[in-house]
Structure 1
Amino acid sequence: MNDKQSLPGVQDVMTRDVISITSDLTVRQAKELMRDKGISGMPVVDRENALLGVISVADIIQAMENNNLNAFISEVMTVNPVFLHEQDTVGHALNACRRYGFGRFPVINEQSKVVGILTTSDIVTRLAQLLRIDQVDEPEEKKEPKDFTTQTYECSIQSMNFDLAGVAASNIKKMLTELGLEGTIIRRAAIAAYDAEMNVVIHAHEGKLSAKVTPHDITIIVEDSGPGIEDVSLAMQPGYSTASDRIREMGFGAGMGLPNIKKSADELAIESSPKGTTLVIKIFID
């Protein structure tokens, strides 16, 4: 990001509407609440809303197998859960995602009270809003695109470097705007570039993004090193997560964002192995 002062912290991007439960209720009551709210896990708090633990679908399933749904939540919850402080930086949050393999954390304040939930989706969405990735200022009168020869852009992408996340997509958006391209084309290219860029920042070791713009099309190539996508066809499904079964049951883990890229692109080619992944995104201009 060009304006470092606009970098959000955890308290700026977290979800504040937290569904939680107290430890003196039963596992059966937790099961019903999770079903009603459509969630797969939630913080366990005391009467003062201080964090005590976390209960997940995995805990519910284990209790069902043990015929123990009438047990108190305090008996089955995960104690000493990993959490974030609302004053933490988003960079710290992303590092926690990478370190623990989670994509969701309870957020507490200085009094240890739960004030939010943070997911990688919250971070990606909020950053896109700050960068105005999907917003294009349309001219009052439609103008013909400028005559131009092939334009190129290239930059490196650093894993977990939130300070630079979104810079490549922003620069591509700026370049296309200066070329006078249609707003819908600019928006699609910026969104595709942003999602691909964030995939590298959050999931890969390092990467590179290059773009080539001709009067006929836009080609964006994103290459990264490791860990690769185990099943590309699954990753293309909305809501798919690369996390383990256990982590997904707990409501953690983040998908690769490939469905968003596919939606924005006219053509999308993906090659992936344990050594890395290459995306070739093409958007037609005429």
Structure 2
Amino acid sequence: MYDKQPLPRVQDVMTRDVISIAPDLTVRQAKDLMRDKGISGMPVVDRENALLGVISVADIIQAMENNNLNAFVSEVMTVNPIFLHEQDTVGYALQACRRYKYGRFPVIDEQAKVVGVLTVGDIVTRLAQLLRIDQVDEPDEIKEPKDFTTRIYECSIQSMNFDLAGLAASNIKKMLTGLGLKGTTVRRAAIAAYDAEMNVVIHAYEGKLSAKVTPHDITITVEDSGPGIKDVSLAMQPGYSTASDRIREMGFGAGMGLPNIKKSADEFTIESTPKGTTLVIKIFID
């Protein structure tokens, strides 16, 4: 059985240590702050911490091109920005990511004061923690390969359905643990399956995952119908995104998790077309 966890709310997963800026500071000061903090955008707030707007790297670049770094932040910021409430569910938050093409949102409380920032990465990381994806105990008795026959698990994956997000990875983890495999092997498979599953949930239209376990290896295949990845080799680089420059600057992008999947696998192949993507992950059983 899948131990379904209550779907967390934005306040449960957001980053609370918010870096913000006042509207009467200059764009040059905003540029220096973002560079020093290693961020690509931040909320603009008044003295009461109420949200006034958002300034991003794209705004900074535009100001530089216009030789306008001495302008006030209020002159170049995005006004009336899209925001989330701390009581919103993460499912709603991800729907907002897809609808507005952003991956970073300011979060406000009932008084409209900024209390956090939420990114796609925050959500994926927190869900993995709730599902204890990477927490695996070593079995009391590790079985030899001859102790079990081939097992197959299959599961459909629904786009943007965070009630079921992590179901496939959790079930694979349970199956492998029940077979008495080493904890390190189970952990690698669970992490790879989770990242692949979340890619489908967030970026594709629909997909399916299958896992085949033989006495020699674990093969996880994930197929999705979606926009595909234009340049697979670039998408495999840590930190790279196939999203547009504007979206990437806001912290959102496709290709999330692919380097982690490759790191967890002994063999990893990926094929992608404008109609969808197929991942094949193989992990050898010691």
Given the two structures, how large is their TM-score scaled by the length of structure 2? 0.96
Structure 2 residue 219 is the aligned partner of structure 1 residue 226:
no
Report matched runs for 1:1-286 at 5 Å.
2-4=2-4, 6-139=6-139, 143-145=142-144, 147-286=147-286
Preserved CA contact (<8 Å) 2:120 2:252: no
Letter in 1 for 2:80: N
Letter in 1 for 2:28: R
Preserved CA contact (<8 Å) 2:236 2:255: no
C-alpha RMSD over aligned residues? 1.4
* Residues in 1 aligned to 2:4 and 2:213: alpha-carbon distance in whole angstroms: 29
Gaps of 5+ in 1: none
Gaps of 5+ in 2: none
> Aligned to 1:42, what secondary structure does the other structure show?
strand
Shift of 1:74: 0.5
Shift of 1:258: 0.5
Letter in 1 for 2:90: V
Preserved CA contact (<8 Å) 2:141 2:180: no
Cα deviation 1:191-212 (Å, max 9, x = unaligned): 0000000000000000000000
Preserved CA contact (<8 Å) 1:226 1:277: yes
Preserved CA contact (<8 Å) 1:56 1:251: no
Preserved CA contact (<8 Å) 2:43 2:52: yes
Letter in 1 for 2:257: G
Shift of 1:251: 3.9
Shift of 1:281: 0.5
Letter in 1 for 2:176: L
Number of aligned pairs? 285
Residue identity over aligned pairs, in percent, reads 87
Given the two structures, how large is their TM-score scaled by the length of structure 1? 0.96
> Residues 275 and 252 of structure 1: is their aligned pair in 2 closer, same or farther, counting only changes over 3 Å?
closer
> Residues 248 and 175 of structure 1: is their aligned pair in 2 closer, same or farther, counting only changes over 3 Å?
same
* Residues in 2 aligned to 1:88 and 1:134: alpha-carbon distance in whole angstroms: 26
* Residues in 2 aligned to 1:240 and 1:143: alpha-carbon distance in whole angstroms: 38
* Residues in 1 aligned to 2:124 and 2:141: alpha-carbon distance in whole angstroms: 32
* Residues in 1 aligned to 2:250 and 2:217: alpha-carbon distance in whole angstroms: 42
* Residues in 2 aligned to 1:108 and 1:255: alpha-carbon distance in whole angstroms: 29
* Residues in 2 aligned to 1:183 and 1:283: alpha-carbon distance in whole angstroms: 13
